[in-house]
Structure 1
Amino acid sequence: MSLGLDEQVDAPAGTRPGRGGATAIPAAPPRTAALPLVGVFTAAVVLVAALAVLDLTLGTSDVGALDLWHLLRGTSDDQTLAVLIASRAPRVLAGLLVGAALGVSGGALQSVARNPLASPDTLAVNAGAYVTVVLAAVLGISLPFALSGALTFVGGLAAAAFVLAIARGGAAGPSRLVLAGSATMLALSSITYLLMLLFEQETQGMFAWGEGTIVQSGTQKVAQAAPVVLVAIVVLVVWSRRLDVLALGDDTASVLGLDVRRTRVVAVLLAVLLAALAVTVAGPVGFVGLSAPVIARLVASRVPGLFRHRLLLPFAALAGCAVVLAADVLIRALVPARAGVMIPTGVVTTLLGASLMVWLARRLRASGPVRATASVGARAASRTRVGVVVGLLVVLVVGLLVAGLLLGDRLLLTGDVANWLAGTSGRQVSFVLDQRVPRVLAALLAGAALGLAGTSVQAVARNPLAEPGLLGITGGAGVGAVLATFLLPGTSVWGVSVGAVLGAGLTFSLVYGLSSRRGLSSDRLVLVGIGVSAAASSIITLLVVLTSPWNTTMALTFLSGSTYGRTAAQVWPVAIALVVLTPLLVRWRRDLDVIALDDDVPRVLGVPLERTRLGLLVVTALLTAVAVSAVGVVGFIGLVAPHLARALVGSSHARVIPVAALLGAVVLSAADTVGRTVIAPAQIPAGLVAALIGAPYFVWLLWRSRRA
């Protein structure tokens, strides 16, 4: 399986490549004049101090800069002091603590993995820590701060260890690390969303907190976490010379007498501890651990001597403080005071971090050919086998259709369905089936649409691990649908579908345009898509918090992918799209075969590459958009269905297209039926069940190919 492991990120001047083709963290340069270093540190401290003071002047009360000046002079009233002590000072202190902890954590993880995209987010540390906090809330366990921090540390460490094992410690390149982290994060997020939906009362307020907020009710948490954060940072700085040697590569470091494994283990433990403490204090503030070290390294590329870890890590801490405080200031300056309090700080930091991730992904350069998508696990199948597979899948689809109609919070008989079709059923049966039929059809049709969209995307991207969600199309469609709902209250289903189509089209146009630098690279396309997808998720959260801050169930249901409350009007757009667009994919079946190989073969055979590729992407965006408008944001169907189809019937798209559509319908329909039945009368959104199935499958694909 080809994952583009020979690609790497263009490094700043002075870096040297490490093992596995990953970007190496540069070794310590010779000693230089201290004046530039003093200047850059002074500027950073002044910037952080200015942002802290500015943040103290912003809030919901009338206390401003002049009142703080009077407070410093000792001429202010008690109200100013109360506001400062009760809310603003704890908020600023939390921002400083979280920024420093995540900045150093991300810097250490990037050095250990020799990967500029490593961070507590891309290694799923934040997701692992967050799920433990939600689990404790569900169980009704009120833990003291020390035990709560220990619990988040265990969750974050388990997630990071899992991701690093799959990605071979980051040596396999940026794409595998981020793909493994994204899959693990999505699986953990699915568990988190499930717990929050099933235990709404116990987890009230955790949706917004889950995006990361530095709003505090006192300084108790900060005061308890600060000593541990300080000690961890000091230990990492003391170990800085070991990290400098580690940057030379494992073989060189071993020759120089460094215990590579011990250094890695200690650095990862301390980095995860810092990230876990940040989650305990403020929730998972997104992408600070990515953006702060990247900013620090960009500055270090222009300041001699700053690449030494004893200076780089403290500077990353200052950069983290600046990022968090700047995000908080931006929110409170641009959004009205009371609404600004509800917006999590992590929304803005995620947007910044996602932008930096896209920028880094655009610097990927290919050093070798990319294998064809069709070559991954695909074996030629006989016509008999293809006929048997298609026949079994059709029977399975029919069986799931019947099971979906019969199973749920109320069990029905086939005679009830027959009577309903004949118009002779009783009132209760009619009521149940009137609600259930659109849901079952929505799951079947949306699953088929996502299976087809995934088939097209994997061929165009030449990456068997690509899917509409990882390429940002699903997130863009979600943003468009949510915008249509909020900007046009009472809009019809067709209006939501149009919004989803526009969002999907614009988002993928952005992803494709940003990924086309120096030719289309599958890894670059996926990494840019993941960054844009993260930004889209933050925008959805921002829209929900601004327009309906207390209706988190609605947001969770939409983000989890659910067929709840679907009507026939929401099924028709998906049905029409399948009827119109499926023949186009069938017509392009041979073009898909050659496009999945490389750029040269289609041109030699006379295939209009760019025009065909554009048409396929438009079809993909339309199929994804109508699926999102029908069932919300559902992930991994577009990954699992095409991959299983190639494994069952071979690589020919004439065979893959119908089988992938049927498999997509099977997976989402089964997920919907299980979600409606297993804990009836309560329900699990179909998207969560699908993610819990698809994410482990995706991780297994990565694990199976880890030595490729």
Structure 2
Amino acid sequence: MKFRHTSATTPAEAPRPAEAASPAGAPATNASLVTTGPTSPTGPTGPTGSTGSTNGARTALLAVAALLALVLLAAVHVSQGTAGIGPHALWQAVTSWMSGRSGTGDAAPVLVASRLPRLAAGLLVGCALGAAGAALQSVSRNVLASPDTLAVNAGAYLAVVAVAAFGISLPVLSAGGTAFAGGLLAAGIVLGLSRAGTGPIRLVLAGSALALALSGLSGMLLLLRAQQTTGLFAWGNGSIAQTGMGAVEQLAPVVAAALLGLLLLGRRLDILALGDDGASVVGVSPRLTRGIAVLLSVLLAAVAVTIAGPIGFVGLCAPAIVRLVAAWAPGLARHRAFVPASALAGALVLLGADVLLRALFGAQAGAAVPTGIVTTFFGAVVLVALAYRARDAGAAGATTAFARLRGRRAFVLTLVLTSTGLVAAVVTATLLGDTPLLLGDVTNWLTGDVGQAVAFVLDTRVPRIAAALLAGAALATAGAVVQAVSRNPLAEPAILGVVGGAGVGAVLTLTLVPLASFVLVSGSALAGAALTAVLVFGLAARRGLEQNRLVLVGIGVSAGTSALVSLLIVLTDPHNGTKALVWLSGSTYGRTFPEVLPVAAALLLCLPILVTLRRTLDLIGLDADTPRLLGIRPGATRLGLLSIAVLLTATAVAAVGVVGFVGLVAPHAARALVGQRHARVLPVAALLGALLVTVADTIGRTLAAPAQLPVGLVTAVLGAPYFTWLLWRTKPTA
């Protein structure tokens, strides 16, 4: 998108077509979200005269209103807490603290030690995340960029967890530097995979993939070094609870310096919004400007993680709010106003979420539930709303590099090799574990002539292997179906929120009915997956399921379901973070044959149906018109196929919990090996999915034996690099 630029027109005042984004937003591309920014009401010369005065008055009015709202929120925030202290006592304590006098009574210690530090942390972290999100959206020209979608939070969190896991205790500033290094590395990888201006889909998917892999590594450290990382799980959801002002006082100057740096870059960021060529013409280096802005943004996010952990989606919500308000006050479109306005909005969002949390669940629950769970949930709603309003064109096309014809010989060879590999993986999984066995032990177990010790090991190990094998096949098959129906090669059950919906259903049942039967848990998972599928595909069907909106809505719904699962577990069992982590990461531990029978039954029911509909899958995956011309009813066919995918996903989740990336990686690899025809893709994808989960489960059982790693963490670590390589291989060249 090119903009007219003359010497009499500032970048922020340049005339823009109706579909162009504001300098604070993202230029429209063929596959990007389109955000209509505020346009100048007076033509090429921008606001002048009374119009400029009106815009200035509106901006000032909004600033005053926002500050008043922040003061009101702060007053309410300070009045909330577990200690029953009245407003009068609090006011006396506040005035005494502000005047430097030592307070008396019960209010002063509570105020100084807990409530004011929590308020200060909320203000500082909210400002940091809001400003970071605004800058990242500008330099990437992508309205979905934030410390979450660029995996900055995940990278910073992993760095902090890694240090703590090895018993290293760092001072606040050193911990902030560690978080900065981890966040900067993650941001560099994601931005490298998603070039500026190529649309939100690549950035969000690259960030999601890397964040999932980094979260998997963090989860491994949390489980393997549980004693050294006590309390980091709840902190990992984002909590602004503080025990003093030390961290805030030391890091506040860092935030102030970073914000000042972004303000000084404001003019350059305005010019950069016109495009790299236009910026270079007027002497602004696009690479240098982006580099400095990214460094400052990552520094702000690292400070937020150091103080409060990775609080989700504040960096996405705050700039979105300012961008909406800027339609009424166009002066906010300039970065010297947009960045501080986003910082103020971030503080309002975070404090508002914390106030709402304690108002809804009570002061005691508010102390136990991390604030980041609330911000993640509402941020997921914002992401879904942005995706629903999006106007994009076409699928992501991430598999064009693999769209090759494969002969029958290649298919047969692939089938033989994958089958052989799966048999070898099953045999290896049977023999390896915390108690290694021999083939003779297995043979004796099959004939019933074995000792009690070996019988016990195999009686518990074999059902786990069966669960991994069947769940992997089910998730891979469901992923192949979802990709065909949506005509989006980046879609899969986990990314589309179906896995998360099944998890919510299962965890809700386990929470309300602790002794619930496996049948009830499985039914709840199926219901949750079905409801989530209806929500995601209903919202994404606005202009066709093949569009990128499907993935963006699914990612938002998936984040929301993850927040709900964490909320349910923290509210019912706040001291058992391991329980939440194991469930959210997927595990085959303790599985029995009756518990894996539903997965086997679903595969036996669905695979023959899919084989019968193999040509329909081929046609549905082509375009919107061909199936209709050949007499296929697209709506009913999609509904039936998605129902099959939901059934397979729900039974797999009920059996092994939440396992990601299998439904994405296995179909991609299958197409790379055997081509696009579903008669060949389906069996190979099922075998590869079973192989991936079986190998991941074996690694999880043996790598740190006798400790065990959830299978979902291992699949994330194994699958995310493949997905990242896939995005790199299909990276646009222009």
Measured against the shorter chain, the TM-score band is: over 0.9
Q: Percent identity?
A: 55
Supply the distance in 2 between the matched residues of 1:76 and 1:154 (Cα, whole angstroms).
41
1:524 maps to 2:546? no
1:144 is displaced (CA, Å) by 1.1
Question: Is this contact kept in 2: 1:229–1:274, CA < 8 A?
Answer: yes
Q: How does 1:381-420 map to 2 (within 5 A)?
A: 381-420=406-445
Question: Is this contact kept in 2: 1:559–1:632, CA < 8 A?
Answer: yes
Supply the distance in 2 between the matched residues of 1:9 and 1:204 (Cα, whole angstroms).
53
Q: Which amino acid aligns with 1:307?
A: A
Supply the distance in 2 between the matched residues of 1:205 and 1:319 (Cα, whole angstroms).
29
Question: Which of 527, 548, 557 in structure 2 is aligned with 1:502?
Answer: 527
Q: Which amino acid aligns with 1:241?
A: R
1:558 maps to 2:583? yes
1:378 is displaced (CA, Å) by 3.2
Distance 1:385 1:304, change over 3 A: closer
Question: Is this contact kept in 2: 1:450–1:637, CA < 8 A?
Answer: yes
1:125 is matched with which residue?
Answer: 152
1:391 is displaced (CA, Å) by 2.0
Q: How does 1:68-147 map to 2 (within 5 A)?
A: 68-71=90-93, 77-147=104-174
Supply the distance in 2 between the matched residues of 1:10 and 1:427 (Cα, whole angstroms).
72
2:3 is matched with which residue?
Answer: none
Distance 1:508 1:222, change over 3 A: same
1:621 maps to 2:622? no
1:492 is matched with which residue?
Answer: 517
1:261 is matched with which residue?
Answer: 287
Distance 1:72 1:445, change over 3 A: closer
Question: Which of 250, 253, 256 in structure 2 is aligned with 1:230?
Answer: 256
Q: Which amino acid aligns with 1:82?
A: P
2:402 is matched with which residue?
Answer: 377
1:365 is matched with which residue?
Answer: 391
1:516 is displaced (CA, Å) by 1.5
2:89 is matched with which residue?
Answer: 67
Question: Which of 591, 596, 603 in structure 1 is aligned with 2:621?
Answer: 596
Question: Is this contact kept in 1: 2:22–2:333, CA < 8 A?
Answer: no
1:680 is displaced (CA, Å) by 1.9
Question: Which of 425, 439, 451 in structure 1 is aligned with 2:450?
Answer: 425
Question: Is this contact kept in 2: 1:408–1:673, CA < 8 A?
Answer: yes
1:215 is matched with which residue?
Answer: 241
CA offset digits 1:326-380 (Å, max 9, x no partner): 000011111132122111010111111111111111122234x548788551322
Q: SS where residue 335 of structure 1 aligns?
A: helix
Question: Which of 537, 544, 569 in structure 1 is aligned with 2:594?
Answer: 569
1:476 is displaced (CA, Å) by 0.8
Supply the distance in 1 between the matched residues of 2:332 and 2:410 (Cα, whole angstroms).
62
Alignment RMSD (CA, Å): 2.0
Supply the distance in 2 between the matched residues of 1:237 and 1:290 (Cα, whole angstroms).
19
Normalized against structure 2, the TM-score is what?
0.92
1:284 maps to 2:310? yes
Supply the distance in 1 between the matched residues of 2:625 and 2:424 (Cα, whole angstroms).
44
Q: How does 1:131-170 map to 2 (within 5 A)?
A: 131-168=158-195, 170=196
1:687 is matched with which residue?
Answer: 712
Question: Is this contact kept in 2: 1:16–1:26, CA < 8 A?
Answer: no
Q: Which amino acid aligns with 1:406?
A: L
Distance 1:10 1:540, change over 3 A: farther
Q: SS where residue 522 of structure 1 aligns?
A: coil
CA offset digits 1:202-247 (Å, max 9, x no partner): 1111111001110000000000011110111112112211111111
Supply the distance in 2 between the matched residues of 1:234 and 1:376 (Cα, whole angstroms).
44
2:9 is matched with which residue?
Answer: none
1:249 maps to 2:297? no
Distance 1:240 1:375, change over 3 A: closer
Distance 1:374 1:237, change over 3 A: closer
Q: SS where residue 78 of structure 1 aligns?
A: coil
Supply the distance in 2 between the matched residues of 1:454 and 1:191 (Cα, whole angstroms).
24
Question: Is this contact kept in 1: 2:24–2:335, CA < 8 A?
Answer: no
Question: Is this contact kept in 1: 2:399–2:730, CA < 8 A?
Answer: no
Q: Which amino acid aligns with 1:136?
A: V
2:4 is matched with which residue?
Answer: none
1:581 maps to 2:606? yes
1:383 is displaced (CA, Å) by 2.2
Supply the distance in 1 between the matched residues of 2:616 and 2:724 (Cα, whole angstroms).
30
Q: Which amino acid aligns with 2:659?
A: V
Distance 1:117 1:14, change over 3 A: closer
1:3 is matched with which residue?
Answer: none
Unaligned runs of 5+ in 2: 1-16, 41-45, 97-101
Deviates more, 1:520-529 or 1:210-219: 520-529
1:165 is displaced (CA, Å) by 0.5
Question: Is this contact kept in 2: 1:121–1:286, CA < 8 A?
Answer: yes
Question: Is this contact kept in 1: 2:25–2:143, CA < 8 A?
Answer: no
Q: Which amino acid aligns with 2:287?
A: R
Question: Is this contact kept in 2: 1:9–1:365, CA < 8 A?
Answer: no
1:52 maps to 2:74? yes
1:327 maps to 2:353? yes
1:4 is matched with which residue?
Answer: none
Normalized against structure 1, the TM-score is what?
0.95
Q: SS where residue 169 of structure 2 aligns?
A: coil
Supply the distance in 2 between the matched residues of 1:179 and 1:474 (Cα, whole angstroms).
17
Supply the distance in 2 between the matched residues of 1:264 and 1:14 (Cα, whole angstroms).
14
